[in-house]
Structure 1
Amino acid sequence: MAVAPPRPKDLPLSALRAFEAAARLGSFALAAAELGVTPGAVTAHVKALEAHLGSPLFQRSGRGVVLTAVGARALPDFTHAFDALGAAVQVLRAEAAPRVVHIATLPAIAQLWLSPRLPALRAAAPEIEISITAMERPPNLKRLPYDLSLFYGEGDQIIAPDVIFPVCSPSLAAKLRHPEDLADVTCLTDASWAQDWKIWADVAMPGRNFTPRGPIFSLYALAVEEAAGGAGVLIAHQALVASHLAVGALVAPFAQRVTLPGGLRLWAARPMQPGSAVQRAARFLQVAASRSSGESSL
């Protein structure tokens, strides 16, 4: 009589994914952010995996976690496997919904740069559906379901330089003659780009150790609107305030401008198929970035 032995249980895919992310990023918290779960969930998955294997994968200490020899030997194969799985999922998504383009971008870019260009994109290619997700950091395109990433950064696929300079309402600009006059007015600061004032001031006012005085905003788009409303002077990123400058809602009171390393980066993790919806949308945005009107053709 044939005997059917019990099949060994497979290791849970969710636990393996938690281990790989935590090991690759060197942090349970960063792994949780990437996977969209809590750090406690990552910890629980890893502990369950270690219990199942009967071997520790991380060494815990007050300063964080470090891979054990077992975990370090396993990591490269798991990273390769999950990258391959992510690529396969993206191919499946593209085949199932070939006219949908998912874009991940910074909230300020979504509001001030991307959104004004969407009507022209829809008019040029009404069959393409654009889905936008705003987030604070670029996603891992090898794993997450986004076709394009649009953020400020360094690397290839830069579609516009990142130029910064002060802007304000015309009425406030009339009171400013020299950069040193900023000491007597309210200066608006964005929390994510708090270093912009120092970078610009070190060029425009070398040796002055200028410190901006004024409110700090967590939403750059709100800071832009406050500047246009006369609330103070804001360090602008040129691409994000181009429309405000074009209509005169904002003006640049000083000539000094600073170009930062990198720029507005439109990035795809995989080669885009010629004529695909992703390739056409990316080409539209590339051309739009080079034109102040934001108009293009596909």
Structure 2
Amino acid sequence: MAVAPPRPKDLPLSALRAFEAAARLGSFALAAAELGVTPGAVTAHVKSLEAHLGSPLFQRSGRGVVLTPVGARALPEFTLAFDALGAAVQVLRAEAAPRVVHIATLPALAQLWLSPRLPALRAAAPEIEISITAMEQPPNLKRLPYDLSLFYGEGDQIIAPDVIFPVCSPSLAARLRAPEDLAGMTCLTDASWAQDWKTWADVAMPGHNFAPRGPMFSLYALAVEEAAGGAGVLMAHQALVASHLAAGALVAPFAQRVTLPGGLRLWAARPMRPGSAVQRAARFLQVAGARSSGESGL
């Protein structure tokens, strides 16, 4: 009679994924954000894995967590494995839906830069379906199901420079003659780019220690509309206000502009197959970025 020995239990894949993310990022909270779960769920997965193994993987203290020697030795192999799994999943998605392109981008870029260009992209390639997800931080393209990432940042694959300068409604601009006049104006600030005013003022008004006075916005598109409505002067990112400038809804009252390090960056985690929907969409956006920079006189 054949003997069927009991098979050892596999380690839970979700627990292994939680361990790898927490170990790679050095934080349970960051791992939770990447995996789309709560920090408590990551903690529970790691504790479950440690119980299965009978060995601790992290040393816990009031300052956070650090890997034990066992965890540190295991991490590189798991990172390679999950990167490979992510690449395989992307290949499977691309083969199953070759005409769908998933783009991750900032909410402001989705609303003010990408959305106005989608009609032209659809007209140029009507067979391509574009899916857009807005998020505040660039995703890990090796793990998450996005083909392209469009964010401001430093690195290669810059499609347009990041240029900042004040903008306001035409009626408000009539009251401004020099940058120093901003001291008596309401200045609009985006929470994600709170340092932009200082960066620009250090160049336009050196030695003045200018401090903007006015409301802070968490939604950049709302700040743009408020500026167009005459609520104050906004420190603008050129790519995000180009259409408002072209329509005359906003004007730049001063000549001083500051180009920030990096720029508008479009990238993919894997090489794009020539002629694929992803490659064609990326090429369209690269040309659009170059064209918008040229139209700005940059």
Q: TM-score, normalised by structure 2?
A: 0.98
The Cα offsets for residues 191-246 of structure 1, whole Å up to 9 and x where unpaired, read as 00001001001111111111100000000000000000000000000011000001
Change (3 A) 1:153 1:184: same
Residue equivalent to 1:78: 78
Q: Deviations over 1:40-69 (max 9, x none)?
A: 000000000001100000000111100000
CA contact 2:164–2:235 (8 Å) conserved in 1:
yes
CA distance in 2: counterparts of 1:248 and 1:156, whole angstroms: 33
Q: Distance in 2 between matches of 1:269 and 1:124?
A: 25
The answer to whether the 8 A contact 1:153-1:262 is kept is yes
Q: CA deviation at 1:5?
A: 1.4
Question: What is the alpha-carbon distance in structure 2 between the residues aligned to residue 286 and residue 293 of structure 1?
Answer: 11
> Do the aligned partners of 2:173 and 2:251 also contact (CA within 8 Å) in 1?
yes
> How far apart, in 2, do the equivalents of 1:218 and 1:174 lie?
28
CA gap of 1:103–1:297, structure 2 versus 1, over 3 A, is farther
Query: What's the CA shift for 1:294?
Result: 11
Structure 2, unmatched stretches of 5+, are none
Separation in 1, partners of 2:193, 2:295: 29
Q: Distance in 2 between matches of 1:26 and 1:285?
A: 34
**Distance in 1 (alpha carbons) for counterparts of 2:128 and 2:3:** 57
**2:292 is paired with a residue of what secondary structure?**
coil
Task: Assess if the C-alpha contact under 8 Å between 1:288 and 1:296 holds in 2.
Answer: no
Deviations 1:151-195 (A, max 9, x none): 000111000000000000000000001111101010000000001
CA apart distance, 1:252 = 0.5
**Contact 2:187/2:213, CA 8 A, preserved across alignment:** yes
Contact 1:190 1:218 in 2 (8 A): yes
Residues 1:131 and 1:286: Cα distance change in structure 2 (over 3 Å)? same
SS of 1:294's partner is helix
Q: Which residue of 2 aligns with 1:66?
A: 66
What residue ranges of structure 1 are gaps of 5+ in the alignment?
A: none
Q: Distance in 1 between matches of 2:16 and 2:295?
A: 46
Sort the Cα spacing of 1:128 and 1:169 in 2 relative to 1 into closer, same or farther, 3 A. Answer: same
How far residue 4 of structure 1 moved from its aligned partner, in angstroms, is 1.4
Aligned to 1:214: 214
Residue 205 to residue 294, structure 1, CA distance change in 2 (3 Å): closer
Contact 2:188 2:214 in 1 (8 A): yes
Post-superposition shift, 1:293?
10
How far apart are 1:3 and its partner, in Å? 2.1
**Structure 1 position 292, deviation (Å):** 3.4
Q: Is the 8 A contact 1:120 1:295 kept in 2?
A: no
Aligned residue for 1:149, secondary structure, equals strand
Whether the 8 Å CA contact 2:160–2:293 is kept in 1: the answer is: no
The CA RMSD over aligned residues, in Å, is 2.4
Question: Closer, same or farther in 2 for the Cα pair 1:188/1:279, shift >3 Å?
Answer: same
- Contact 1:288/1:294 (<8 A) preserved: no
Q: CA deviation at 1:2?
A: 2.8
Please state whether the residue corresponding to 2:222 is helix, strand or coil: helix
Q: TM-score, normalised by structure 1?
A: 0.98
SS in 2 for 1:6: coil
The percentage of aligned residue pairs carrying the same residue is: 93
Runs of 4+ in structure 1 displaced over 2 angstroms?
292-298
Mark the CA change 1:193 to 1:293 in structure 2 (over 3 Å): closer, same or farther: closer
Asked if the contact 1:124/1:297 (under 8 Å) is kept, the reply is no
- Confirm or deny: 8 A CA contact 1:155 1:262 kept in the other structure: yes
Distance in 1 between residues matched to 2:293 and 2:191, nearest whole Å: 29
Preserved contact between residue 168 and residue 230 of structure 1 (Cα < 8 Å): yes
